[in-house]
Amino acid sequence: MSTYKAPLKDMQFVLFDVLQSEKAFADMGFADVNRELVDAVLEESARFCETVLAPLNAVGDREGCKHDPVTHDVQTPTGFDKAYKQYVEAGWPSLVSPPELGGQGIPESVGCAVKDMINASNLAWGNFPLLSHGAMHALLHHGDDWQKTIVLPHLIDGSWTGTMCLTEPQCGTDLGLIKTKAVPNDDGTYSITGTKIFITAGEHGLTDNIIHLVLAKLPDAPEGSKGISLFIVPKFNVSEDGSIGDRNAVTCGSIEHKMGIHGSATCVMNFDNAKGYLVGSANRGLMAMFTMMNSARLGVGIQGLGLSDRATQNALRYSRERLQMRAATGPAFPDKPADPIIVHPDVRRMLLTNKALVEGSRVLAYAAGLAADGSNHHPDASAREANDALIGFLTPIAKACITEWGIECTYNAMQCLGGHGYIAEHGLEQLARDARITTMYEGTTGIQALDLIGRKILQLQGSGMKVFGEDIKANIEASMATELAPLASQLAKIAGEWEVLTREIAGNAMKDPNEVGAASFDYLMYSGYVVLAHYWLKSARAALDANVSEDFRKAKSETAEFFFARLLPRTLTHAANIRSGARVLMQMPDERFDA
């Protein structure tokens, strides 16, 4: 059976030693958010996740959600409703929301640590409140007074949940092709008609109401993405004073049968002249939706982190217990009939790969959360601008790379267990199946890659990369005077190569537009390994002075050395792929693919 223990020591090390968040919080005006408070939040979250959510993970996978075609209701797995009630009663939904709206005002970076634990404990359950956080952001930045004073507080306290309704049967990423219509009513509302698919938590009985944020087109809307508007469509109609009325004309037509996240309701939602309320300005819906989507993208990246961590914990435990063969250098445990498999080099390769990717990804995810905090709360305008550029740059890397590594880590963990990893008893195969979806929803890895190179680098002239580059330079300079100088020199070299590669892609794109798409995936992964190299050097340097045990300190430096020696060279392949150009991808005619 798969178990989970929150890695509080590493979480605290990342927040306070690597990222120096206590000082950052003070600079941003979080006067009351000190280490004592954050430690208390993390410890209580660990208790909830370990004792309430983690035991339900296998239950959700085994039972799944059930859809009633007559009533259109969706029944969640046994225990999910009670767990959600405890979640709300403990105040977790309001953790990172503004105090003036009923929130607790805890920084987003601390919320990332809480999400880390939730996702490791029970990813499918965590999907029910996941999109509420993004809906809060969308309404906070784009909603009108009624939406902020009546709808938003219910999302913040968790009594209502939110969804994001974008995809349609004929339309995925290219949202300009949506067909859902919004017709104005005399009372200022709109009648929404259309079908949306793949809607996470689109229907359930965990809350009093569900707030759907729906993309639709007005009758006179311009063609394409410039003609998209965003609407609130509640499951139950809401009066001006916030009281819940009759059922709105929005129903769940079916739920998808998936290879993973069985406990999460992935719904087909039908809107049949449902009452809706415009969010923001007409035909400007994408701006509001991207506010929600970017929050969700970082959240999905943290899903990959949580799954990787839980899988690694269980693989490590098994590798210490499973006896098989003898160490190549002779019996490591002569008193046992065989040695535990952790003595074998290939098992250690997989465990160290996972450790390097998990702990490095944790720094990346929390750093992105801290950049979001700075973007929203720093008193200095230039600092807010720099953090905004940084979070924009880090988001596609965090979402795509951490989830791609999540697939690698969960499969490495399965390999450590051998045949036991393939069967349901140990729970590793569930984690591997669940991990597959994280690279797809909220934008596939390919979409994130295009966002990084096409928008964040070329269109925005690499503003976020420049901010990140300054942090790399400071890290290298500070590390040169330590025992980590060889790693710092290695990082300096590859950071320089990264800049050259970026300029090459930009130059090639001027000659052939296909060069951007041809390079995008490999450029994304190349960037991910450079980013992790930076954070591993930073982690190893922080451990030199941190109040940690000698074993912890050595583990950080040894894992950093492993990352630089065994994982960072993967960039060589990605660079070669980029430089092979678009021609080798585009020269074959479509009809020749099945020749």
Residue 53 domain-assigned (yes or no): yes
CATH of the domain at 21: 1.10.540.10
Tell me: do 14 and 137 sit in the same domain.
Answer: yes
| Cα separations in angstroms, 413 against 38, 121, 319, 347, 499 | 31, 16, 10, 9, 35
Question: Which mean pLDDT values do the consecutive 10-residue runs of the chain (595 residues) have?
Answer: 94 98 95 95 98 98 97 98 98 95 95 98 97 90 93 96 94 84 97 97 97 96 90 96 94 97 98 97 86 88 98 98 94 94 97 98 98 96 97 97 98 97 95 98 95 95 97 98 97 98 96 96 98 98 97 98 98 98 96 94
Tell me: do 39 and 97 sit in the same domain.
Answer: yes
Element (H or E) spanning 65, and its range?
Answer: none
Tell me: do 132 and 188 sit in the same domain.
Answer: no
Could you tell me the two tokens for 581?
């150009």
Tell me: do 193 and 125 sit in the same domain.
Answer: no
Last residue of a domain, one of 283, 305, 326: 283
Tell me: do 14 and 89 sit in the same domain.
Answer: yes
Tell me: do 136 and 201 sit in the same domain.
Answer: no
Range of the domain at 526: 461-583
Residue 243 domain-assigned (yes or no): yes
DSSP line for 469-531 = HHHHHHHHHHHTTSTTHHHHHHHHHHHHHHHHHHHHHHHHHHH-THHHHHHHHHHHHHHHHHH
Total structural domains in the chain?
3
Residue pLDDT, tens place only, 516-542: 999 999 999 999 999 999 999 999 999
Tell me: do 134 and 166 sit in the same domain.
Answer: no
Tell me: do 125 and 48 sit in the same domain.
Answer: yes
Residue 325 domain-assigned (yes or no): no
Could you tell me the two tokens for 303?
């899903």
Tell me: do 116 and 20 sit in the same domain.
Answer: yes
- Whole-number Å distance between alpha carbons of 515 and 513: 5
**Contact assessment for residue 476 and residue 492, using Cβ atoms and an 8 Å cutoff:** yes
User: What's residue 172's pLDDT?
Assistant: 76
User: What's residue 173's pLDDT?
Assistant: 77
Tell me: do 212 and 114 sit in the same domain.
Answer: no
Tell me: do 186 and 96 sit in the same domain.
Answer: no
Tell me: do 84 and 196 sit in the same domain.
Answer: no
Q: Mean of the per-residue pLDDT values for the chain? A: 96
CATH of the domain at 231: 2.40.110.20
Helix axes 463-479, 485-511, angle to 10 degrees: 160
User: What's residue 31's pLDDT?
Assistant: 82
Which of the following is catalytic: 240, 442, 470, 477?
A: 442
User: What's residue 288's pLDDT?
Assistant: 82
Question: 429 an active-site residue?
Answer: no
Residue 410 domain-assigned (yes or no): no
Instruction: Tell me the β-bridge partners of 269.
Output: 196, 252
User: What's residue 268's pLDDT?
Assistant: 98
The stretches of 254-344 forming alpha helices (DSSP H) are 285-321
